[in-house]
Structure 1
Amino acid sequence: MNILHTSKKFLKVLACAGVLMAAQQAQAQQVTVDASIDSLQLLIGEQAKVKLEVSMDAQQKLILPALRDTLVKGVEILDIAKPDTQLLNDGKRMLIRQEYTITSFDSALYYLPPLEVLVNDQAYRSKALALKVYSIPVDTLNPDQFFGPKTVRAVPITWEDVKTIVWLTLLMLALGGLAYYLFKRYKDNKPIIKKIKIEPKLPPHQQALQEIERIKSDKTLRNTDPKAYYTELTDVLRTYMAERFGFNAMEMTSSEIIDKLMGIQEKDAIKDLMVLFQTADLVKFAKHSPLMNENDMNLVNAVDFINETKVEPDPNAKPEPTEITVEEKRSKQGRIILLSSIGVIVIAIVVVLYQVLRGIYNLWF
């Protein structure tokens, strides 16, 4: 008896579970179709929008109504919007919206039949709609009265209307001036004049003393590289002698320089200079390493020799910079560049002129 009671109870549970599963499956596959219109009344020629909404399972297949030119006779379809799809319930359900733009040119009360869709090849319909179209009201009491066309009103011209024309005109004038200037340059073919300003040269002794001062300030050269030190020092003296006495000391040996000076100066005057050149030759050719005080003494001897043999310039003479004028004929390449620039500018002027005339025509005609 207990076994029979338990079996009946188990069958009831199974039946309830089956009913619940069927209800859930039916709800999951439920399809709803709805249609609405945004305006129930229109004047002839006005437009209204019919919206179709379909809610269904995401796995189902939908076919929308195949409408073309008319919804019903007298109601025309102007536009069919692209369907809009929205996913619901975590992607399990879909809501599809389709919008139709309609109009009518005959006054009447129109019955809009239900819109039919196919979901998994099964037809579903929306509710029916109604649309009332009115004609434009006419003054029946004065049928012969009419109103003629309005007079043409003059629209004032503002700065926004003409600013583009003004700026383009100014640009055209500037380009025209530039083209005229370049054409004159090309036609005249005047030489290019350059003026070079040359500063007066220092007297030989001043130039030599400046170089010696530079060598003196370079302590590293004097302490670490005696060969370079004496080479620079003797080169300064050779340059000074060439400009002061007029012989090519730069191409002469030390002994030749001393012999030359012996014929110009007294032997006592060049005694210290002889020591300097002898030391320089030993350093350069015999790898002699002079002492620090010996280097300083030779530098002082060089300064003394310059001061004893220098020729002071006239203090009343005021040296003026020399200015040299150089004339160069314009090259063939320069003339080609000028002519090409003129051509480009002329083309730009034509384009700007076209834009100006077009703007004037559109503004006043």
Structure 2
Amino acid sequence: MLVCLLGSSPLLAQQYEDYFQVKAVPDTTSIRLGEQVNISVTAKVMLYALKGASLKVVFPNLPDSLNHLEVVSRTPLDTAGSNSQQKLWKQTITLTSFDSGRWELPPMKFEVFSVTDGSYDSVFTEPIIIDVTTVAVDTSKAFKPIKPLRRVAWNLLDYWPWLLGILLLVTGVVLYFVYWRKRKPAPKPPPAQPLRSPYETAMDELAQLGKDKPWNTDVKLYYTQLTDILRQYFEQQFHIAALEQTSAELLQNIKPVTVLNQQRDKLQSILTLADLAKFAKLQPSPQEHEDCLQKAIAVVEWTKPAAAPAPEPDSTNQKK
């Protein structure tokens, strides 16, 4: 996945084709079984049309196999064609197939996100049709007769794995019955520790993060750990698939959770700064590092579950 950030203001209201173009071109559309076809995938962003824009561009991530086509390899993203007027990414995806027929590589989806307001849209390439043919057979020639079976002389060494396995099995059975009386009773397992709540786990991890201060050596690692702690807490506490969602999707899906949606501004501020630091190589100030950590602690504190009321004593067992 590739993420690119540009400028500082949203521009999704414009038509994407004005400034964002994607293309997938195969070097051939007809192969034989097992042969390969190279798909040249390009994405072009016109920088002159994006002054002041703040966008993320996400490249498609094809599965290893789809519709009788298998992905053999993917080259790293190449930005050699970029200049002051445009940003250009290139990637070559190599496919093959072992099933004859006409197969379609479905349109590949590129996603464009607005960092400012969290809105997003998708742009697709054209589908690609690939014909896979078998090796031609000359049916004009007569069939050749089937050759008779050839018998191989029996050799004891051919069965040595089986003999060794039987020997080991017999040895294991004998040793078990000889020494089973000498076995010491297995120690009792230690009592199970009470499970920690998602709130306690998240607070401990945030406190440890504040002690370690990883932003002094690796800013990207710090924001990755910080957002992962929050996402795991949301999954365990509110059953939201936060680890599988983008920042924009996560902010959209917390709306039904009232107590979590009340902290939406803090959460959006954390996620936005984290995305900029992880994907746009932004270097926030030390004060911003500390501020993000304190906001994360505030979000967890605000959304922690209420303590269960203590059970009331049974009045029937009290002496009058």
Name the TM tier (shorter chain). Answer: 0.3 to 0.5
TM-score (norm 2): 0.38
Larger gyration radius, structure 1 or structure 2: 1
TM-score (norm 1): 0.33
